[in-house]
Chain A
């Protein structure tokens, strides 16, 4: 006989509700109910974290969109663009995502905990994906999926500074200034980073600003000044480090 019992208590949130909350799609009353329920429910809070982690790890588990799109005839993808407006307006409303993750941020500028602007990462090593913590040991060839959290639209740039001080712009690629990001929790960058073979501690600096700023002077300043770097007014920086071992 098939067992038709359900495992989720009726009072708890379904995955659909959590998915919609993460996407900013819940109606205001449903969102209020969810936000009231979550802090007191360890099971739903844990499930929300799992779903957020799955979203962050998605770029490491699935093929790049460009690869997928290459399998579809381009001429077919041109109709009814207007139908997508509402859907994307909804996507842009993801600001409502509830921030529950608490994370100690090494060296953050006072807002790295609970609800502030922060960066984090997931590591893909030998096909296995895990959440990265400050001081995480990683290896050359690993792929890092960087994620960011912000409550409000900002511009974002991410710099990577290695043990010798060499500093590169990890995000955005091929652009001269930071790019606008929408509010969201643990939103993945559109691409992952492949680690090179330079051993030692590397630090990612996530620079959240109220306006787009030229990146090259900031990169140079970080390369020369390291932790003493003075960041422009209107910007907050969040840092997270990992240890690369050969």
Chain B
């Protein structure tokens, strides 16, 4: 079996994970479908990015998170995503709480944004996040603490400017 055939198998077996998480993070069907395309087109173009050191699910969680965060940071996309406050499918978003988290994700540095996604969107345990990121649970705790502090500071500043 050649690489494209193997990637096709991953697409069939795991593509739903990418699509579901992109929907959860972005709450936008078109953007989620784009992320799905980007993940697998990227894999076809650079199969070496999956080195087999982690499970396929772990790898796809990581890539999907990264691409979704990129989209949230992109100016035009971000404005549109954050302006769309209509309800998604019940499993795709948990209402205002996720919308607020999404707004913050666009402003956080990559490492803090990632850990925020895993903790507040995916609702993983510290142990799972550590496994996902390849770091210690202590580091996960530190990252979450920093993310929370930064969010609270930004909120205070926003209130101050308002």
Main secondary structure of the interface of B (DSSP, over half): helix
Knowing A8-B123, A88-B9, A91-B9 are in contact, say whether A55-B56 is a contact too (CB < 8 A). Answer: no
- A71 → chain B, closest Cβ, in Å? 6
Task: Establish whether residues A73 and B11, one from each chain, have CB atoms under 8 Å apart when the complex forms.
Answer: no
Task: Establish whether residues A72 and B41, one from each chain, have CB atoms under 8 Å apart when the complex forms.
Answer: yes
Q: Is B110 an interface residue (CB 8 A)?
A: no
Task: Establish whether residues A77 and B44, one from each chain, have CB atoms under 8 Å apart when the complex forms.
Answer: yes
Q: Is A14 an interface residue (CB 8 A)?
A: yes
Task: Establish whether residues B124 and A4, one from each chain, have CB atoms under 8 Å apart when the complex forms.
Answer: no
Q: Is B135 an interface residue (CB 8 A)?
A: no
Q: Is B134 an interface residue (CB 8 A)?
A: no
A87 to B6, CA, bound (A): 9
Most buried by A among B11, B51, B57, B122: B57
A160 to B51, CA, bound (A): 42
Task: Establish whether residues B16 and A84, one from each chain, have CB atoms under 8 Å apart when the complex forms.
Answer: no
Task: Establish whether residues B122 and A15, one from each chain, have CB atoms under 8 Å apart when the complex forms.
Answer: yes
A242 to B73, CA, bound (A): 47
Task: Establish whether residues A91 and B13, one from each chain, have CB atoms under 8 Å apart when the complex forms.
Answer: yes
Task: Establish whether residues B16 and A73, one from each chain, have CB atoms under 8 Å apart when the complex forms.
Answer: no
B1-35 contacts to A (CB < 8 Å) = 1-4, 6-17, 19-21, 33
Q: Is B85 an interface residue (CB 8 A)?
A: no
Q: Which residues of B contact A88 (CB under 8 A)?
A: 1, 6, 9-10
* Of A8, A16, A68, A91, the contact of B61 (CB 8 Å cutoff): A16
| CB closest residue in chain A, given B37 | A68
Task: Establish whether residues A72 and B45, one from each chain, have CB atoms under 8 Å apart when the complex forms.
Answer: yes
- B47 → chain A, closest Cβ, in Å? 6
A94 to B8, CA, bound (A): 16
* Of A50, A57, A58, A87, the contact of B56 (CB 8 Å cutoff): A87
Knowing A58-B15, A87-B10 are in contact, say whether A7-B94 is a contact too (CB < 8 A). Answer: yes
- B134 → chain A, closest Cβ, in Å? 14
Bin chain A's interface residue count: 35 or more
Q: Is A32 an interface residue (CB 8 A)?
A: no
Q: Is B161 an interface residue (CB 8 A)?
A: no
A86 to B52, CA, bound (A): 6
| CB closest residue in chain B, given A79 | B48
Knowing A7-B123, A8-B123, A58-B19 are in contact, say whether A77-B57 is a contact too (CB < 8 A). Answer: no
Task: Establish whether residues A84 and B47, one from each chain, have CB atoms under 8 Å apart when the complex forms.
Answer: yes
Q: Which residues of B contact A57 (CB under 8 A)?
A: 16
Q: Which residues of B contact A23 (CB under 8 A)?
A: 13-14, 55-57
Task: Establish whether residues B12 and A87, one from each chain, have CB atoms under 8 Å apart when the complex forms.
Answer: no
Q: Which residues of A contact B122 (CB under 8 A)?
A: 14-16
A25 to B17, CA, bound (A): 14
Q: Is A42 an interface residue (CB 8 A)?
A: no
Task: Establish whether residues A62 and B19, one from each chain, have CB atoms under 8 Å apart when the complex forms.
Answer: yes
- Please, what's the 1-or-0 string for B53-79, where 1 marks a CB less than 8 Å from any CB in chain A? 001111101000000000000000000
Most buried by A among B2, B4, B8, B55: B55
Contacts A78-B2, A91-B56 supplied; 11 other A-B pairs, CB < 8 Å? A4-B101, A16-B61, A20-B58, A25-B55, A54-B16, A62-B33, A65-B7, A65-B8, A69-B4, A79-B47, A80-B47
A-B contact pairs, 9 of them (CB 8 A): A2-B100, A7-B94, A19-B57, A23-B13, A65-B8, A78-B2, A80-B48, A83-B52, A84-B52
Instruction: Give the A-binding residues of B (Cβ under 8 A).
Output: 1-4, 6-17, 19-21, 33, 36-37, 40-41, 44-48, 50-52, 55-59, 61, 91, 94, 96-97, 100-101, 104, 119-120, 122-125, 128, 132, 148, 151, 155
| 4 shortest interchain CB distances as A-B pairs | A86-B52, A58-B16, A80-B48, A25-B55
